[in-house]
C-alpha cells in the first residue's frame, strides 16, 4: 500500500516534470566544469552576455570539485546524464573521451577558424585532423619581478640570459633581496617554471617539440640538455635552504618583497595582485644572444566541447561558436587575469601585468609544454620524470647530461618513435 | 544414548546470529577487496579488455628495470622507516614508561598526556606542522638552533636526499611514541607487587630489578608493539604524501611502498593510473606484511614464556 503510493508520487512528479519541459520554449544547456572557482564569473558575466545575444537559449553552469571532475564526468557520461557542454582538460584525458564517443568533433565549427594550430593542439587527435573541443584559455610562462627592487638597484629589464644573470649577481651582491624565489621541495616548480619556462628558447618551441614527438630529436640532443645546464646556474641565486622551500613558500617570499624575481606562470597574477604592495613587472624568458628569435610557453589549459548525446545540438553549437568569438575572449580574459584567450582576436585587458604577458605573443613564437602531448602516456612518465630531473639538476645531485640520458632511456623504453 | 546426546547439545544459533554482522561487514570491506586486489594483479588491460596474464605483472615488477628500480627503492626506504621506528620509538617508549611508572616521579599524569597527545592528531596536521617548523624560511627550527649557538647544524632536512627519510621517520616516531609508552606502562602496572617485593627481599633493586624482573615480564607487550610497528610502517602513506607529495621527493628519497602504490594505481599528474600494476604492488605489500606477521606469530609469540602468579 505504502510503496504503491510512493510509486504513484514518483510517477506523478516525473510526468509533471516532463510536462514542464515540454512546455518550455527555451533550449536549456548545462555546462560541466571543474572550475568551481569561476561559478560567479559565469553566472554574472559570461552567461548573461551570451543569453542577451541568443534569446532562445538558457545556460546553466554546474561545476564539480576539480579533483573529482574526471571521475564524476566519466560516470555521468556512462550513465547518459552528463550536461550538453563539457569542459575539456588538455590532451589525453579529453582525447580518451573523444575516442569513447563522449565528445563530438567540432573541426568544422565557424568559431574554430579563430584558433592557431598550437591553440588547438591540446584537443586534437594525434594526427591533428580532428578537433573535439573549442580552446578557451592558456597560461603563459615568464618571470615576474619586483619593480621597486629593480629601480632601487638601478637594474634594467634583462633581454638576454647574460643580462639576467648579471642582474641576479647585482641583487645578490646588494644582499637586501633573495635574487630568485623558487624551491625544489614540490619538484613541479623546477620543471614547470624552470625547464618548460626557459626551454622553448633552446629547442625553438614547436619545431623542437614536434621533432621530439616524431623522433627526429632526442632528449640527449644539446638543445634539450642546455636548459638543464642553465638551471644548474640558478642554484646560486635561490634562497637559503631552497631544497625544502615549497611552492607557497616561494609565493610568500616574493609577495612579501623578500625576493626580486619570481619564475612564474601567468595564473599567479590575480593572487599576486591581492598580496603584493609593490609594483610588479614581467619579462619573457630571456634569449641566449641579443636579437635571437624568442619563444614562450603559452600552454593550453582549458577548452569546451559538446556531448554528442545533447538534446539541443544547434544551441550547443551556437554556444561553442560564441566561445570562439571576440566577445567571449575579452570577457573571459578580463574576468580571470592570467588565463588568456587562445583565439587570434586582440583582447584589451585592464590588468597591466596580464597585458604584459599577453603582449609577448606578438613578439615571440608560442609553444606548449614539451612533455604534455603524447610523450607522457607511458611508464616511466616523461612529465613526472622531468619534474624529478629538473629538481635534481638545480639541487646539484644529478648532472644535466645524466638526467637527459635517463629521461631519453625512459622515453625510448615505451615510445615507438624514439626507439 | 546418541539421541540423549543430541538433546544435550542443541545447535547454538545465537553464536552465528551475533557474529553475523561483524563477519558480513568485515567480509564486505576487507576480505572481498583483498581478493579483488589479488585477482586484479593477475590481469592486464589489452585493447580495453582485461586479459589474464598469470604472474607476469609480478615478473615485471621485480624484473623490468623500469619498475623494479622504483620497487626496490621503495622497499628499501620502507625498511629503513621501520628500522628507525624499532631503534628509536620502541626503546624510548619503554624508557618513558619505566620513568612514568616510577612512584617518585611528580606530574606523571601531565607527562603521560603530553607525550600521548600527538598520537591522536591527524597525519595531515602533523605533516604540515613539522614542515612549517623545519622550513628554512619561516620555521622556528633555525632560530631555536641559533639561540643555543648550533645554527651551523641546521640544514633543509626535508629537502636533502640524504636526510629527508630519516627526518620523516623521526617525525613519525614523535607522533606515535605514545602507543608503545602506554602499552608498556599498562604492562608494568600489571606486574604484581608480590613479585617485586620478593625481588627486593632477594636484594634486587633499582636498575637490576628492571632488567631482571620487569623487562622479562613485559616482553610479550614488546612483541605486540613490534608487530604493530611493522604493520603500521609497511602500510604508511599519509605522512609522506602530506609533506613530500605523491612523487615523494627529493628524487624519490622518501618514496615508500604506499606512495609508489598510490602513484601507480590512481595515476599522478599526467601519469595515467594502472590498476593492474597497482594491485600487483598492493599484493606484494600484503604478502610482506603477511610474512612478517606469520614469522612473529609462529616464531616468536609461541615461544614467549607465560608467567602465572
Pick the more confident residue, B165 or A127. Answer: B165
DSSP strand pairing (A280-283 vs A178-180): unpaired
User: How much of chain A exceeds pLDDT 70, in percent?
Assistant: 94
Residues A92, A198, single domain; the answer is no
Pick the more confident residue, A274 or A106. Answer: A106
Contact A244 B269 (CB under 8 A): no
> pLDDT tens across A26-57, in order?
789 999 998 887 888 899 999 999 999 999 89
Closest CA to A32 of A88, A78, A80, A79: A88
Residues A193, A63, single domain; the answer is no
In a domain, B10, yes or no: no
Q: How far is A89 from chain B (nearest CA, A)?
A: 11
As a whole number, mean pLDDT of residues B260-267 equals 89
In a domain, B7, yes or no: no
Interface residue B272 vs chain A (CB under 8 A): yes
- Res A24 pLDDT > 50: no
Helix pair angle (B275-294, B215-234), 10° resolution: 170
DSSP strand pairing (A57-63 vs A27-33): parallel
Residues A234, A315, single domain; the answer is no
Residues in chain B: 309
Residues A281, A391, single domain; the answer is yes
Domain with residue B257: its CATH number is: 1.10.3720.10
Phi, psi at B208, each rounded to 5°: -70, -25
Confidence at A21, pLDDT banded by 50, 70, 90: very low
Residues A46, A148, single domain; the answer is no
Closest CA to A283 of A158, A189, A368: A158
Owning domain of residue B101:
56-303
Instruction: Give me the pLDDT at residue A194, please.
Output: 96
User: How much of chain B exceeds pLDDT 90, in percent?
Assistant: 58
pTM for the whole thing?
0.84
DSSP strand pairing (A85-88 vs A259-265): unpaired
Query: Which parts of A344-415 are beta strand (E)?
Result: 365-367
Cell of B96: 618513558
In a domain, B82, yes or no: yes
Residues A269, A339, single domain; the answer is no
Residues in chain A: 419
Contact B271 A383 (CB under 8 A): yes
> pLDDT tens across A283-331, in order?
999 999 999 999 999 999 899 999 999 999 999 999 999 999 999 999 9
In a domain, A263, yes or no: yes
Encode A23-77 in three state secondary structure: HCCCEEEEEEECCHHHHHHHHHHHHHHHHHHCCCEEEEEEECCHHHHHHHHHHHH
> pLDDT tens across A52-109, in order?
999 989 999 998 877 668 778 888 888 888 999 999 988 888 888 898 899 999 999 9
- Res A20 pLDDT > 50: no
Which of B131, B136, B268 comes nearest A241 by C-beta? B136
Phi, psi at A316, each rounded to 5°: -60, -40
Looking up cell 604508511 gives B236
Residues A15, A106, single domain; the answer is yes
As a whole number, mean pLDDT of residues B16-35 equals 94
In a domain, B180, yes or no: yes
In a domain, A374, yes or no: yes
- Res B307 pLDDT > 80: no
Looking up cell 610474512 gives B291
* Interface subset of A 158-217, CB within 8 angstroms of B: 183-188
In a domain, B33, yes or no: no
Residues A155, A255, single domain; the answer is yes
In a domain, A327, yes or no: yes
Residues A155, A253, single domain; the answer is yes
Cα B201 to chain centroid distance, Å, stands at: 41
In a domain, B2, yes or no: no
Domain with residue A374: its CATH number is: 3.40.190.10
User: How much of chain A exceeds pLDDT 90, in percent?
Assistant: 67
- Res A13 pLDDT > 80: no
Interface residue B73 vs chain A (CB under 8 A): no
In a domain, A361, yes or no: no
Q: How many domains does chain A have?
A: 2
List chain A residues with CB under 8 Å of B135. Answer: 241, 244-246, 249
Owning domain of residue A194:
139-298+366-418
Asked if residue A32 lies in contact with residue A73, where contact means CB atoms within 8 angstroms, the answer is: yes
List chain B residues with CB under 8 Å of A252. Answer: 137-138
Q: How many domains does chain B have?
A: 1
Amino acid at each position: 500500500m505504502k510503496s504503491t503510493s510512493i510509486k504513484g508520487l514518483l510517477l506523478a512528479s516525473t510526468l509533471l516534470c516532463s510536462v514542464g519541459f515540454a512546455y518550455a520554449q527555451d533550449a536549456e544547456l548545462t555546462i560541466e566544469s571543474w572550475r568551481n572557482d569561476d561559478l560567479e564569473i559565469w553566472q554574472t558575466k559570461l552567461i548573461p552576455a551570451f543569453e542577451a545575444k541568443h534569446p532562445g537559449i538558457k545556460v546553466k553552469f554546474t561545476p564539480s570539485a576539480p579533483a573529482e571532475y574526471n571521475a564524476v564526468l566519466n560516470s555521468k557520461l556512462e550513465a547518459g546524464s552528463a550536461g550538453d557542454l563539457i569542459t575539456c582538460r588538455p590532451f589525453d584525458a579529453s582525447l580518451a573521451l573523444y575516442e569513447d564517443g563522449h565528445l563530438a568533433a567540432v573541426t568544422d565549427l565557424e568559431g574554430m577558424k579563430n584558433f592557431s594550430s598550437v591553440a588547438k593542439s591540446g584537443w586534437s587527435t594525434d594526427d591533428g585532423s580532428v578537433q573535439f573541443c573549442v580552446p578557451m584559455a592558456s597560461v603563459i610562462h615568464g618571470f615576474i619581478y619586483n619593480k621597486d627592487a629593480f629601480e632601487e638597484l638601478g637594474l634594467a629589464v634583462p633581454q638576454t640570459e647574460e643580462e639576467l644573470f648579471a642582474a641576479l649577481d647585482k641583487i645578490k651582491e646588494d644582499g637586501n633581496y633573495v635574487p630568485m624565489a623558487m624551491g625544489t621541495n614540490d619538484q613541479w616548480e623546477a620543471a614547470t617554471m624552470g625547464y618548460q619556462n626557459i626551454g622553448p628558447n633552446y629547442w625553438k618551441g614547436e619545431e623542437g617539440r614536434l621533432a621530439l614527438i616524431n623522433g627526429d630529436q632526442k632528449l640527449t640532443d644539446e638543445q634539450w640538455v642546455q636548459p638543464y645546464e642553465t638551471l644548474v646556474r640558478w642554484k646560486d641565486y635561490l634562497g637559503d635552504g631552497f631544497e625544502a622551500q615549497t611552492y607557497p613558500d616561494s609565493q610568500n617570499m616574493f609577495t612579501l618583497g623578500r625576493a626580486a624575481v619570481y619564475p612564474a606562470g601567468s595564473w599567479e597574477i590575480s593572487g599576486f595582485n591581492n598580496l603584493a604592495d609593490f609594483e610588479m613587472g614581467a619579462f619573457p624568458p630571456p634569449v641566449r644572444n641579443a636579437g635571437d628569435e624568442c619563444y614562450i610557453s603559452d600552454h593550453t589549459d582549458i577548452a569546451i566541447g559538446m556531448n554528442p548525446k545533447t538534446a539541443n545540438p544547434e544551441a550547443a553549437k551556437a554556444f561553442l561558436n560564441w566561445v570562439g568569438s571576440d566577445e567571449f575572449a575579452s570577457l573571459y580574459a578580463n574576468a580571470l587575469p592570467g588565463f588568456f584567450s587562445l583565439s587570434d582576436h586582440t583582447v584589451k585587458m585592464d590588468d597591466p601585468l596580464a597585458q604584459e604577458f599577453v603582449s609577448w605573443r606578438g613578439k615571440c613564437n608560442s609553444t606548449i609544454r614539451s612533455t604534455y602531448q603524447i610523450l607522457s602516456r607511458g611508464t616511466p612518465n616523461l612529465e613526472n620524470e622531468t619534474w624529478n630531473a629538473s629538481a635534481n639538476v638545480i639541487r646539484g645531485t644529478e648532472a644535466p647530461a645524466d638526467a637527459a640520458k635517463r629521461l631519453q632511456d625512459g622515453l625510448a623504453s615505451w615510445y615507438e618513435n624514439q626507439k | 544414548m546418541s539421541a540423549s546426546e543430541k538433546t544435550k547439545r542443541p545447535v547454538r544459533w545465537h553464536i552465528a546470529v551475533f557474529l553475523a554482522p561483524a563477519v558480513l561487514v568485515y567480509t564486505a570491506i576487507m576480505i572481498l577487496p583483498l581478493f579483488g586486489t589479488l585477482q586484479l594483479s593477475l590481469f592486464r588491460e589489452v585493447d580495453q579488455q582485461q586479459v589474464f596474464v598469470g604472474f607476469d605483472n609480478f615478473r615485471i615488477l621485480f624484473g623490468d628495470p623500469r619498475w623494479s628500480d622504483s620497487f626496490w627503492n621503495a622497499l628499501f626506504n620502507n625498511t629503513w622507516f621501520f628500522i628507525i621506528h624499532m631503534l628509536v620509538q620502541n626503546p624510548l617508549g619503554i624508557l618513558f614508561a619505566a620513568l612514568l611508572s616510577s612512584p617518585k616521579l611528580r606530574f606523571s599524569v601531565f607527562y603521560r598526556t603530553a607525550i600521548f597527545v600527538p598520537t591522536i592528531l591527524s597525519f595531515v596536521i602533523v605533516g604540515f606542522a613539522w614542515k612549517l617548523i623545519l622550513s628554512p624560511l619561516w620555521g622556528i627550527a633555525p632560530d631555536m638552533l641559533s639561540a643555543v649557538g648550533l645554527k651551523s647544524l641546521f640544514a633543509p632536512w626535508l629537502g636533502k636526499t640524504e636526510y629527508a627519510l630519516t627526518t620523516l621517520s623521526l617525525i613519525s616516531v614523535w607522533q606515535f611514541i605514545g602507543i608503545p609508552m602506554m602499552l608498556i606502562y599498562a604492562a608494568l602496572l600489571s606486574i604484581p607487587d608480590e613479585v617485586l617485593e620478593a625481588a627486593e627481599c632477594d636484594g634486587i633493586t633499582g636498575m637490576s630489578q628492571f632488567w631482571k624482573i620487569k623487562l622479562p615480564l613485559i616482553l610479550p607487550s614488546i612483541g605486540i608493539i613490534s608487530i604493530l610497528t611493522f604493520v603500521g610502517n609497511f602500510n604508511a602513506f599519509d605522512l609522506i604524501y602530506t609533506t613530500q607529495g605523491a612523487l615523494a621527493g627529493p628524487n624519490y628519497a622518501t618514496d615508500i611502498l604506499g606512495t609508489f602504490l598510490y602513484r601507480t594505481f590512481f595515476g599522478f599528474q599526467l601519469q595515467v593510473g594502472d590498476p593492474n600494476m597497482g594491485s600487483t604492488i598492493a599484493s606484494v605489500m600484503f604478502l610482506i606484511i603477511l610474512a612478517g606477521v606469520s614469522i612473529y606469530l609462529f616464531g616468536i609469540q609461541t615461544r614467549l614464556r607465560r608467567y602465572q602468579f
